Chain A
């Protein structure tokens, strides 16, 4: 799992990424900057609960991805079955490029989770 993340993090503009369970527990992480992984995992899990509830009631189907844009960076929470892939990116990241690599990482994480 760590190798998948390391590969993703080679993409220009990506600070790092991690995989957490839906309960927020960190499965694997790889960041080039200082972050508090366990804290991010717990918060992501809490946000996911709010998202699942909202999408269900608004009838928009299953949650796929939540992209948060902030004053400093961008963060993507991506639903990968029983796990969440979290990617921290620069604010000015080229999303076209990043999306391709994120999709590849998603597929690899999903495959790895099934093994």
Chain B
């Protein structure tokens, strides 16, 4: 029996290897399906889902691969919902509520989405991500005023939130408030210069504004993002962590993971040549940071998230598969971006930093977080 299993496994692995080689040289939708099946047969459901995602991104008009990918995503969502519900019960934090609400939303479970957002807001009223999800739900239901109210709240807590600013601009256009939409889009361009989607939306908003003379703005007075004040948005951290922090939007850390983030970043900062480290969530919100005081943490988080978004959204089309890490080399320094566990870790380093040392430190940090 053991021998039979081993031979079977060897056959599957050989098949995976040969399919991967053919797929690299000459990809087709059928090859993606066969490779996904082979991974599933080998008991690697996660890899099978990943292959289907890559195939669907490459062949968005191939019906079978799109159907299979949707099925796999649904399964993955259900597993993740289960995991998040359990984690909220044991170690609640605002990101978990926002993520859970997003998953319910993706499954078209609107009442559960709204309920999760409301519970999240009640528990953590100073986290912008949950208001964003609620704003998205109202926008989907075409309840524009309600959506605007939630999104404005989200932005008041997190002025560099790309998704909230972009959606709010679209909602303002629906409410015939093009001048306010223009303001929000220009805010985005401050930290995402040249973003093509935003430039296109800005063109529309300006055209609508020109057509709507005289412009009558009903918006509440808003501040343009031309000179961001130093606003620390460290969500976690405390006086005993050694991490520079300002206004914490969460109560003092109560569990080991939170303290681990802060300690991990502080450790990374001690690596020779490393000048700063920042951990942001999927919305670009700063979880923890240890940066040079001259650098605005919120702005750094937004800029990095913008670069990450540009690279990761297109990584499959660029031929690299799912984004894992990136190193930006500038004239006066390097930026290392690593994605793990729904977070983005960024390290700022001098140009002559020893890359091997940095990579080892990042691996150690990631391992210590993932082990928890």
Residues 278 to 332 of chain B near chain A (Cβ within 8 Å): 295, 299-300, 303-304, 306-307, 310-311, 314-315, 317-332
- Which of B50, B310, B318 counts the most A-chain CB atoms under 10 A from its CB? B318
Taking the closest CB of chain A, its distance from the CB of B184, in whole angstroms, is 18
**Does residue B125 face the partner (Cβ distance < 8 Å to A)?**
no
Q: Hey, which chain A residues are within 8 Å of B300, CB to CB?
A: 58
**Does residue A50 face the partner (Cβ distance < 8 Å to B)?**
yes
Cβ-neighbour of A55 out of B195, B310, B318, B330 (below 8 A): B330
Q: How many A-B residue pairs have CB under 8 A?
A: 136
A72 in contact with B320 (CB, 8 Å): yes
**Does residue A64 face the partner (Cβ distance < 8 Å to B)?**
yes
**Does residue A73 face the partner (Cβ distance < 8 Å to B)?**
yes
B317 in contact with A39 (CB, 8 Å): yes
* B294 (CB) vs chain A CBs: closest residue: A59
A53 in contact with B317 (CB, 8 Å): no
Separation of A48 and B309 alpha carbons in the complex (Å)? 13
Cβ-neighbour of A53 out of B24, B192, B196, B325 (below 8 A): B192
Interface flags for B179-200 (1: CB within 8 Å of A; 0: not) read: 0000000000001111110000
A60 in contact with B327 (CB, 8 Å): no
Separation of A88 and B321 alpha carbons in the complex (Å)? 12
B25 in contact with A34 (CB, 8 Å): yes
Separation of A88 and B195 alpha carbons in the complex (Å)? 24
Given the interface pairs A54-B306, A57-B299, the reply to whether A70 lies near B327 with Cβ below 8 Å is no
B348 in contact with A65 (CB, 8 Å): no
**Does residue A98 face the partner (Cβ distance < 8 Å to B)?**
no
**Does residue B335 face the partner (Cβ distance < 8 Å to A)?**
yes
Q: Hey, which chain B residues are within 8 Å of A61, CB to CB?
A: 330-333
Taking the closest CB of chain A, its distance from the CB of B244, in whole angstroms, is 17
Separation of A57 and B318 alpha carbons in the complex (Å)? 26
Separation of A66 and B329 alpha carbons in the complex (Å)? 6
Given the interface pairs A47-B307, A47-B311, A53-B303, the reply to whether A73 lies near B332 with Cβ below 8 Å is no
**Does residue A62 face the partner (Cβ distance < 8 Å to B)?**
yes
Q: Hey, which chain A residues are within 8 Å of B323, CB to CB?
A: 68-70
Taking the closest CB of chain A, its distance from the CB of B302, in whole angstroms, is 9
A60 in contact with B335 (CB, 8 Å): yes
**Does residue B27 face the partner (Cβ distance < 8 Å to A)?**
yes
B299 in contact with A70 (CB, 8 Å): no
Q: Hey, which chain B residues are within 8 Å of A62, CB to CB?
A: 330-331
B307 in contact with A33 (CB, 8 Å): no
A58 in contact with B303 (CB, 8 Å): yes
- Which of B295, B320, B324, B327 counts the most A-chain CB atoms under 10 A from its CB? B320
Q: Hey, which chain A residues are within 8 Å of B327, CB to CB?
A: 65-67
**Does residue B26 face the partner (Cβ distance < 8 Å to A)?**
yes
Given the interface pairs A50-B192, A75-B319, the reply to whether A65 lies near B335 with Cβ below 8 Å is no
Cβ-neighbour of B295 out of A43, A58, A65, A88 (below 8 A): A58
Separation of A66 and B194 alpha carbons in the complex (Å)? 18
Residues 42 to 94 of chain A near chain B (Cβ within 8 Å): 43-44, 46-47, 49-55, 57-75, 88
Separation of A13 and B318 alpha carbons in the complex (Å)? 17
B307 in contact with A50 (CB, 8 Å): yes
* A40 (CB) vs chain B CBs: closest residue: B318
* B189 (CB) vs chain A CBs: closest residue: A53
Separation of A91 and B271 alpha carbons in the complex (Å)? 26
Separation of A38 and B317 alpha carbons in the complex (Å)? 11
Q: Hey, which chain A residues are within 8 Å of B321, CB to CB?
A: 70-73
**Does residue A35 face the partner (Cβ distance < 8 Å to B)?**
yes
B311 in contact with A71 (CB, 8 Å): no
4 more contacts with CB within 8 A, not counting A54-B303, A60-B335, are A46-B194, A46-B314, A50-B194, A65-B327
Q: Which residues of A contact B (CB under 8 A)?
A: 15, 33-36, 39-40, 43-44, 46-47, 49-55, 57-75, 88
Which 4 A-B pairs have CB atoms at the shortest separation, nearest pair first? A61-B331, A70-B320, A72-B321, A49-B194
* Pairs A–B under 8 Å by Cβ, sample size 27: A33-B319, A34-B26, A47-B307, A47-B310, A49-B194, A52-B194, A53-B194, A54-B304, A55-B330, A58-B348, A60-B332, A60-B333, A63-B329, A64-B330, A64-B331, A65-B328, A66-B327, A67-B326, A67-B329, A69-B325, A70-B318, A70-B324, A71-B50, A71-B320, A72-B320, A72-B321, A72-B322
